[in-house]
Chains A and B, each alone.
Chain A
Amino acid sequence: MSRVTKTLVGAAPHIHAKQSTASLAWGSSLLLVPAFLWGLYCFKLAAVLPVVAAISAAILGELLIGLARKAFTLGDGTAFLTGLLVGLSMPPGVPLQVPILSALFAICLIKGAFGGLGANWMNPALAGVVFALLNWPAEMGTWKWPSHLTGVVGVSGASPLGFVHSKFATEAGGGDALSLLGASGFSFSGLDRSITAFLNNDLLGHLGVSLPSGYMDILIGNKAGAIGELSGLLLLAASIVLIARRIIRWEIPASIFASFAVLVWIFGGIPFGNGYFSGDILFEVLSGSFILVSFFMATDPVTSPSTPGGRILYGLAIGGLTFIIRRFGSGAEGVAFAVVIMNCFVPAIGKLELAGRINRTETLHE
């Protein structure tokens, strides 16, 4: 039996699930590629540079921190993912110091200074985005139109969400989000017109409802917005894979959506001069960073609760906060702030989770 030279004698269990921390991070990154490619199609070089800058800065930051601790940690994929998420949250053509400094802030201060992977209590990518929003509000609010809509690269314009919310203060009594956009000269694409017409004539018409123009553009990503946040459709498709491959759990995005949608439905119509129960859930959910943040960032395991119950509580709170911040905050965006705020409450939720488990375990073992 001399053929067996050396076998391992590590402790049980001796087999493991295929998933590793690195495969989770690299898997998430891979699933963000379609959204990035859409950004690339819309904005060309203006989409590439911020993303490359953010990823490079994140990798550099991780290397520097690793050097200080004598550990090479790029392989776990989390620094790359953080950089990618920061980059995708940037407006196209943003001055490059914004993604670079934000990614360095995320990796070196939020993650590295607290002890690296697993020890940070705030999601590094979101902290980086919030850092950018606070420091460069003007640059972070300057949007471009996709080049295939205008025919020219670099035509700037307002994002639908930003535009609609800016009208809250000045023009009350204007119907709804889509008609506000229409009336202000937002032109919807031919694709939107044909899909909407198809849906209204062949499907929804039979049910006695009709979809106004504009939603399809917002869903597909024919709009001004951040590089990776344009196409809700592609992000949702990737999210299905995220959940099916068990990279993330469904509880957090589902509960964020649930509480946010209910609040929008009840109160969302008021700023437009409409009554209760008239909010436009579809518009609010498909706009801004809602989908990217709820599926890819709020679900960061390190900074979210560890049990299903805890995750639902966490998600419900994020949805509620997002509504409040979007409604009353100075900027249009809210979900990033909401998640960062709830990150601070994860330890408190952890105490609840533990108490719940211990009580229940005791009754089980009597």
Chain B
Amino acid sequence: MSHLLTFRYGGLVLEDKRSWPVFVPIANAFLPTQALVLLKQHQGRASRCVVRVGDLVREGALIGKADEGGAAAIHAPVPGIVKDIRPVRVSAGGPCSAVEILLQGNFDRLGKREERYIWTSMSRTDMIQTLRERGVVEMDEPGRPIVDMLASRKSPPILLLNCIESEPYLRTENAVLHECLKAVLEGLAILNRLLEPARTIVALEPHQEKELGEERLRVLSGIEAPVELIRARQKYPQDLPNQLLAAINGGRKKQGIGELFIIRPSTALAIYEAIVLAKPVIERFVTIAGGSIKHPAVLKARIGTPIGDLVEECGGFLGQPEKILLGGPLRGQPVHDLDAPLTKQTGAVLALTSEETNRSSKVACIRCGRCADVCPERLLPVEIYRRLDKNRTEDAHAIGLSSCTLCGACGYSCPSRLALVEAFATGQAARELRR
């Protein structure tokens, strides 16, 4: 059982896993005195605001209603008064409407004994309706609503619990497994019931195995569905769908094994809480880390907490961070300031020093081919970049731009520090626009 699986082509072996402890302290964050709740915390368009300034909202009350596919319900993470509804700018992209809630009043959940609902006797329609009402989405990018994911599948898929965090610093899913293993597995069992998958797989990093305990994983309790374990080598980007598929298939992607239905432990936990505890998505685990953070930790925090508060709880900054990110260092989003709020998709808040970023000024491409060496999709990033640089977008697509998953392995490796990922994202968006 010691055999580690991975994908065959390219990839990065990043040093983080050796230099950084696998487990960091886990704690509950303080409640935010002012929560800023974005009305778009999902892939689709923003939800419709159903509260007005001055309204008193209870903990978990609906404040954003999903009117269309791609959107999900948004709930008040804390009880209080709606102080303001205003557009805010977070990271890249346009402004997004947000509801500001001033903490006030009584908690309906906090400190109360949790009531448990027995889901095994619930009907499929009831469960889906519950998931919709509780605003359950993927707890990482792109944040598709779970009900949309369930509706769009065609054949019986492979259900895959993706515990792998192949970007450096991230310890969120580790913490979720550590703290809430039973709940995660029960969430997986609920999905198993809804999907009736051909196989159910748990993809792990080797160090997580102890956490799970093997006898516990042979079957999902409650439904007695068999579970397969896949142990993956620590190589970036092992956590992306194509590379997970390759690991399952012993290196190469192959056709005909069916589609994957991938969820994170955080998402499984949200599903469990929505169905079993009747709880909307109002909090999540988040890694606060990076060289500029005094005491890195994983915090369980309310959605809408300003990331500055979370950083303060970890002892504040050590020196001046060069970059502050929401998400991992390879695929995350940079933010301008510390007022940016925690969202359902924010798995990490990182503050990186210049020693960590290794930034240097862009120089000309020397065609060294390091990007081609590491590309997990076996593309030639250098050639795609040259075409995009000359505005030959269609030529770039002809040599595989559309297969690029924007994992950033090429950009990480480029000694000339070309903005490869930025160019590829723009090139892909340009084609989307034309369609």
Partner-B contacts on A (CB < 8 A): 1, 3-5, 7-24, 73, 76, 116-119, 249, 301-302, 304-308, 311, 350, 353-354, 357-358, 360-361, 364-366
Would you give the shortest CB distance from B84 to chain A, in whole angstroms? Answer: 20
Chain A interface, DSSP helix/strand/loop, else mixed: loop
Identify the interface centre among A4, A23, A116, A302: most chain B CB within 10 Å of its CB: A4
The chain B residue sitting closest to A366, CB to CB, is: B255
Q: Does B52 contact A (CB under 8 A)?
A: no
Q: Which residues of A contact B329 (CB under 8 A)?
A: 13-15
Q: Show 11 A/B contacts (Cβ-Cβ < 8 Å), sorted by A.
A: A4-B338, A8-B322, A8-B359, A15-B330, A16-B414, A302-B367, A304-B367, A308-B373, A357-B380, A365-B253, A365-B403
B335 to chain A, nearest CB (A): 7
One of B352, B372, B378 near A15 (C-beta < 8 A) = B352
Q: Give 10 new A-B contacts, CB below 8 A, not counting A9-B335, A12-B408.
A: A7-B336, A8-B359, A21-B415, A117-B366, A118-B366, A118-B367, A302-B366, A306-B383, A361-B378, A361-B403
What are the residues of chain A within 8 A of B433 when measuring CB–CB? none
Residues of A near B313 (CB, < 8 A) are none
| Interface pair A22/B363, CB less than 8 Å apart | yes
CB distance from A167 to the nearest CB of B (A): 42
| B369, A307: Cβ atoms closer than 8 Å | yes
Partner of B417, one of A16, A307, A308, A358: A16
| Nearest Cβ on chain B to A304's Cβ, whole angstroms | 8
Type the 1/0 row for B327-350, where 1 means its CB is closer than 8 Å to any CB of A: 001111111111000000000001
Complex CA distance for A24 and B369, rounded to whole angstroms: 14
Could you count the A-B residue pairs with CB atoms below 8 Å apart for me: how many are there?
168
Q: Are B312 and A364 in contact (CB under 8 A)?
A: no
* Contacting pair B400 A358 (CB below 8 A): yes
Given A13-B331, A16-B358, verify A21-B366 contact (CB < 8 Å): yes
CB-contact partner of A21 in B406, B416, B425, under 8 A: B416
Write the nearest CB–CB distance from B390 to chain A, whole angstroms: 13
A169 to chain B, nearest CB (A): 41
Closest 6 CB pairs of A and B: A306-B369, A118-B364, A13-B408, A301-B368, A11-B422, A9-B334
Q: Is the CB of A17 within 8 A of B358?
A: yes
Residue of B nearest to A346 (CB): B367
Given A4-B320, A306-B382, also A14-B330 (CB < 8 A) = yes
B321 interface residue, CB < 8 Å from A? yes
Does B317 belong to the interface (CB within 8 Å)? yes
A302 to B366, CA, bound (A): 5
Given contacts A5-B320, A24-B415, A358-B400, contact A119 B380 (CB under 8 A): no
> Please, how many residues of chain B have a CB less than 8 angstroms from a CB on the other chain?
66
A20 to B414, CA, bound (A): 7
If A5-B320, A7-B323, A24-B415 touch, whether A14 touches B334 (CB-CB below 8 Å) is: yes
Partner of A12, one of B330, B356, B369, B370: B330
**Would B338 and A354 count as touching, CB distance under 8 A?**
no
Does B379 belong to the interface (CB within 8 Å)?
yes
Pairwise interchain contact B357-A15, C-beta atoms closer than 8 A: yes
Q: Annotate B66-109 by CB proximity to A: 1 below 8 A, 0 otherwise.
A: 00000000000000000000000001100000000000000000
Q: Which residues of chain A are near B411, meaning CB under 8 Å? A: 12-13, 16
B311 at the binding interface (Cβ < 8 Å): yes
Q: How far is the CB of B188 from chain A (nearest CB, A)?
A: 29
A294→B35 CA distance, assembly (Å)? 63
Residues of B contacting A365 with CB < 8 Å?
253, 403
Max count, chain B CB within 10 A of own CB: residue among A21, A22, A350: A21
Q: Which of B255, B338, B416 has the most CB of A within 10 A?
A: B416
Residue of B nearest to A310 (CB): B369
B53 contacts the other chain (Cβ, under 8 Å)?
Answer: no
Interchain CB contact under 8 A, A19 and B415: yes
Q: Shortest Cβ distance from B34 into chain A, in angstroms?
A: 13
Interface: B197 (CB within 8 A): no
Whether A301 and B369, one on each chain, are in contact in the complex, defined by CB atoms closer than 8 angstroms, is yes
- Chain B residues near A311 (CB, 8 Å)? 369
Q: With A8-B323, A22-B363 given, is the CB distance from A16 to B372 under 8 Å?
A: no
Q: How far is the CB of A301 from chain B (nearest CB, A)?
A: 4
Contact B369 A305 (CB under 8 A): yes
Q: Name the residue on B nearest A365 (C-beta).
A: B403
For B335, the closest partner residue in chain A by CB is A9
**In the bound complex, what is the Cα–Cα distance between A357 and B401 (angstroms)?**
13
Of the residues A5, A18, A354, A361, contact of B358 by C-beta under 8 Å: A18
Query: Would B415 and A13 count as touching, CB distance under 8 A?
Result: no
- How far, in Å, is B225 (CB) from chain A's closest CB? 30
B126 CB → nearest A CB, Å: 39
**B417, chain A: closest CB distance, angstroms:** 6
Interface assignment of B199: CB less than 8 Å from any CB of chain A:
no
Q: A7-B334, A13-B421, A365-B253 are in contact. Are A353 and B364 (CB under 8 A)?
A: no
- Is B413 an interface residue when CB atoms closer than 8 A count as contact? yes
Query: How far in angstroms is the closest Cβ of chain A from B346?
Result: 15
A285–B377 Cα distance when bound, in Å, is 39
- In whole angstroms, how far apart are the Cα atoms of A14 and B289 in the complex? 14
- Given contacts A12-B408, A358-B400, whether A364 and B338 have CB atoms under 8 Å apart is no
Q: Does B324 contact A (CB under 8 A)?
A: yes
Let me know if B157 is at the binding interface, CB within 8 A. no
- What residues of A have a CB within 8 angstroms of the CB of B380 in the complex? 306-307, 353-354, 357
Q: Is B325 close to A, CB under 8 A?
A: yes
Minimum CB–CB distance from B219 to chain A (whole Å) comes to 34
In the complex, chain A residues whose CB is within 8 Å of the CB of B223: none
- Interchain CA distance A16-B412 in the complex, whole Å: 4
Q: Does chain A have a CB within 8 A of B180? A: no
Question: Shortest distance in angstroms between A344's beta carbon and chain B's nearest beta carbon?
Answer: 15
* Max chain A Cβ within 10 angstroms of own Cβ: one of B252, B350, B378, B417: B378
Complex: A40 Cα to B415 Cα, angstroms: 33
Q: Given A117-B363, A118-B367, decide whether A14 and B325 contact each other with a Cβ distance below 8 A.
A: yes
Determine how close the nearest CB of chain A comes to the CB of B312; give it in whole angstroms: 7
A8–B334 touching, CB < 8 Å: yes
B317's partner among A3, A11, A357, A360 (CB-CB below 8 A) is: A3
| A366 to B363 Cα, complex, angstroms | 37
Q: Does B198 contact A (CB under 8 A)?
A: no
Bound Cα distance from A119 to B367, whole angstroms = 9
Which of A23, A305, A308, A357 gathers most chain B CB within 10 Å? A357
Expressed in whole angstroms, the Cα–Cα distance for A361 and B8 within the complex equals 13
A7 to B414, CA, bound (A): 22
Q: Which residues of B contact A364 (CB under 8 A)?
A: 252-253, 377-378
A94 to B416, CA, bound (A): 36
A118 to B324, CA, bound (A): 32
With A7-B321, A9-B334, A301-B369: A358-B399 Cβ-Cβ less than 8 Å: yes
Find out whether the CB atom of B320 lies under 8 angstroms from the CB atom of A15. Answer: no
Interface-centre pick from B252, B380, B408, B413 (highest chain A CB count, 10 A): B380
Do B323 and A354 touch across chains, with their CB atoms under 8 A apart?
Answer: no
User: Is residue B168 within 8 Å, beta carbon to beta carbon, of the partner chain?
Assistant: yes
